[in-house]
Structure 1
């Protein structure tokens, strides 16, 4: 990718990455999936985990990889992953899937292959879940039930069957680990009727309290394009399980076109992937949704699953043998997000601001009603200093970086030394005195460059800067 992102401002430095050990907590999770099917190699990418700045890692439990012969459990592969992760100060989030073909009616071992439905299959599944929960009870505190129950062969299951499956799984884990944080549903795409019936069943069986959060996966070409569906889903969750946390449990974009998996039929690049990932992360943060980035490394899909090509959504490049060959632009862009947005910041709900086209800007199309921008505000919990995220949100991220210059006014901003930050490159720029003023409690910024990836107007003290 040769496109250069140019800001007409003085560069002060770049965002300094923060190791996961330096961050107490944050909104972010990281996908480390498919190790159960050997589509990726944990040892090849483990050294890249902590520098990314995300503490929670999503893994699949891999029943078929662990119990290849009925009643014989070989945990060594998963022991290694869990122990390495915990030893590095990271926190595994372990999913109880997939199925196991060594038992009749116990489901399949690939994405969308179907969950256990027979009495024999369910009994064997429950034994495995119980043994896994007991084995890792002092290392794993976050769990998730079956992946994407409304996808592929799982479509034969009703929402009620899926809800019952979630309940029986959660009860096994809770019996062993009462304080477990369990994710419900892991919906493959947002299906409002499915969500409604699922939660009706949980509520009717007094089982909503078993779960800490509800997860969904939504691969939309425009990362900002699923707000209405998420809003409808949130309304249903609040109706039946008030206070249940919403988590986007798996989402990302490829770095090349015609690759395997979701969103493949678009001409992606490393730049548009980085824009997609950062926009989705910050859109989720701005709407109080936890966010898991899929995934740490490219995955080489083989076998009998529905995907037969490399899945290029990884932040790291890999070869056919799953060896890491380098970092993509998205890896560094995600580092920029994690370095700034942790639990020391709180969202400013209903942040008050106005914006308008800067005088003399040539991009007159911006006035048209089919263009929009996203703006979210945050403040430091102690100092109350602020940071605002801004980007064009109306289209699929592209490879051009055409800037539109806008004027902004923020109520109660209280800025003392504001800077502009580009979240793709991490570059930090000076906002000259001629482009910033205060009128009472209103901070006004003039000719701020905005494009289809997030920029920040931030108090300088909130940005870790490396020169």
Structure 2
């Protein structure tokens, strides 16, 4: 019996205690999480996808939405769910979601999709489906888009046009360009101030598809109809994605440098292969490696000035007839078989720490380049706008997140302001004082350089921060 109890205890605490990266430092605080209503603004969004196909249950997860701290939520409009009979719309399901999310301090941005098979040539109501192509279906699509925007224009400031169109080989970039323009003009006719989002690209970089798309927009003098370009693209090691993302950025900015880049959908599974579906499920995952991956994706984006939509709030139960069947375990919340919420995962708490801290009170210092003595360690610098306290994110990106990883003793050098430097574990939110022996500062030419030694850097982001810049 004693052995059984010991094994049970280990299985419960292992995800959090697996890597005590600061075993000999004094704990001096805990990061406070903040409700979305308490956060004025940030670049963070959380995924609320697949309500259009009833694969998740908003009414079950809505109470977790505000406390998570993301300021936006991505929703899918669901033409086929709204219009089951030609010309008749049922918006009751969206009326129960969009106003509620907004009331929780989380602004909805709505992706308009998928097809509607009640129309010949209307496309398919599923992931990777065909866009509508027939004259009748396109006219019906316009009417539905117009009705959607008219109904929700006061609560939805941003509309995304389609999801992963490049995932279907029949959807060409040129065809998508024409479809995007007609949809964008319908939206603007009803809501001129709306921000428009293209394209939810599945592949990164998919240069040929994007080139065709933007060539059509340029020819039609419609480049100003894209405010934000969203892309997905999953990589087991998230840090290996950025060279390809930069290829995309340069292509898009060559057409319109004002377009904002946004990671429109990314997250990691939490179950082993064979028990989960979707991207990256050919590999084994756990709640620990999911949380590590999500932290690296979020802060890898943020450090480069890229907004992020974390995929997703709830596990998704894909049903027969869609692109896949089974549970997509990328949710921050574990679900029961009936899609109700069982409990938050470790990644939920980790995301709370990031969403609560990295808001508009911090500025990303893209021109400040922290240096380390470890070539596989990534580091990005920030500053608190009010008190000027400095923060640096650090993690080892040499491989995809692992169950066990020996932290790298790292020397960090960075310009900034550190009066009370602390170490922050973003998985647990625990804050530790840095011993005096582990840091020093040098003032030269009006600037102060700080050197931190023997910092234990794991394979997920931690912080070296001035204590005054934190929510404690």
| TM-score normalized with structure 1 length | 0.94
Which stretch of the first structure deviates more once superposed, 185-194 or 52-61? 185-194
In structure 1, how many angstroms separate the alpha carbons of the residues matched to 2:27 and 2:272? Answer: 33
Q: Tell me the residue number matched to 1:422.
A: 425
SS at match of 1:165: helix
In structure 2, how many angstroms separate the alpha carbons of the residues matched to 1:294 and 1:284? Answer: 14
Q: Tell me the residue number matched to 2:361.
A: 344
- Structure 2 unaligned segments of length 5 or more: list them: 1-10
- 2:197–2:228 CA contact under 8 A, matched in 1: yes
Tell whether 2:370 aligns with 1:353: yes
1:196 pairs, out of 198, 204, 211, with 211
Tell whether 2:422 aligns with 1:408: no
Aligned residues: 449
Tell whether 2:455 aligns with 1:438: no
- 1:203–1:241 CA contact under 8 A, matched in 2: no
Q: Tell me the residue number matched to 1:322.
A: 339
Q: Tell me the residue number matched to 2:199.
A: 185
Q: Tell me the residue number matched to 1:282.
A: 299
Tell whether 2:236 aligns with 1:233: no
Q: Tell me the residue number matched to 1:158.
A: 172
Q: Tell me the residue number matched to 1:386.
A: 390
1:265 pairs, out of 271, 274, 282, with 282
- 2:357–2:470 CA contact under 8 A, matched in 1: yes
1:333-385: per-residue Cα shift (whole Å, max 9, x none)? 000101110011111123133322xxxxxxxxx6xxxx511110011223221
In structure 1, how many angstroms separate the alpha carbons of the residues matched to 2:385 and 2:226? Answer: 28
Give the drift of 1:232: 0.4
In structure 1, how many angstroms separate the alpha carbons of the residues matched to 2:74 and 2:370? Answer: 37
Q: Tell me the residue number matched to 2:5.
A: none
Taking the TM superposition and a 5 Å limit, the aligned residue runs for 1:64-103 are 64-103=80-119
In structure 2, how many angstroms separate the alpha carbons of the residues matched to 1:157 and 1:279? Answer: 32
Give the drift of 1:202: 1.3
1:223-247: per-residue Cα shift (whole Å, max 9, x none)? 1111111010000111001110001
Q: Tell me the residue number matched to 1:362.
A: none
Q: Tell me the residue number matched to 1:360.
A: none
2:459 pairs, out of 431, 452, 463, with 452
In structure 2, how many angstroms separate the alpha carbons of the residues matched to 1:379 and 1:202? Answer: 39
In structure 2, how many angstroms separate the alpha carbons of the residues matched to 1:89 and 1:385? Answer: 27
Give the drift of 1:415: 0.9
Tell whether 2:467 aligns with 1:464: no
In structure 2, how many angstroms separate the alpha carbons of the residues matched to 1:278 and 1:409? Answer: 22
CA distance 1:394–1:195, shift in 2 (3 Å) = farther
In structure 1, how many angstroms separate the alpha carbons of the residues matched to 2:172 and 2:352? Answer: 40
Q: Tell me the residue number matched to 2:124.
A: 108
Give every structure 1 segment of 4 or more consecutive aligned residues whose post-TM-superposition deviation is greater than 3 Å: none
Q: Tell me the residue number matched to 1:33.
A: 49
Q: Tell me the residue number matched to 1:147.
A: 163
1:120 pairs, out of 116, 127, 136, with 136
Which stretch of the first structure deviates more once superposed, 283-292 or 198-207? 198-207
- 2:228–2:261 CA contact under 8 A, matched in 1: yes
- 2:304–2:366 CA contact under 8 A, matched in 1: no
SS at match of 2:96: helix
Give the drift of 1:5: 2.1
Which stretch of the first structure deviates more once superposed, 346-355 or 432-441? 346-355
In structure 1, how many angstroms separate the alpha carbons of the residues matched to 2:428 and 2:252? Answer: 37
Q: Tell me the residue number matched to 1:395.
A: 399
Which stretch of the first structure deviates more once superposed, 435-444 or 447-456? 435-444
1:259-295: per-residue Cα shift (whole Å, max 9, x none)? 1111111110001000110100000011111100000
Which stretch of the first structure deviates more once superposed, 323-332 or 192-201? 192-201
1:149-199: per-residue Cα shift (whole Å, max 9, x none)? 011xx3112101011111111110011000001101111111122112211
- 1:438–1:444 CA contact under 8 A, matched in 2: yes
In structure 2, how many angstroms separate the alpha carbons of the residues matched to 1:23 and 1:53? Answer: 7
Give the drift of 1:424: 1.1
CA distance 1:353–1:96, shift in 2 (3 Å) = closer
Q: Tell me the residue number matched to 1:359.
A: none
Tell whether 2:227 aligns with 1:220: no
Which stretch of the first structure deviates more once superposed, 121-130 or 430-439? 430-439
| TM-score normalized with structure 2 length | 0.93
Tell whether 2:175 aligns with 1:171: no
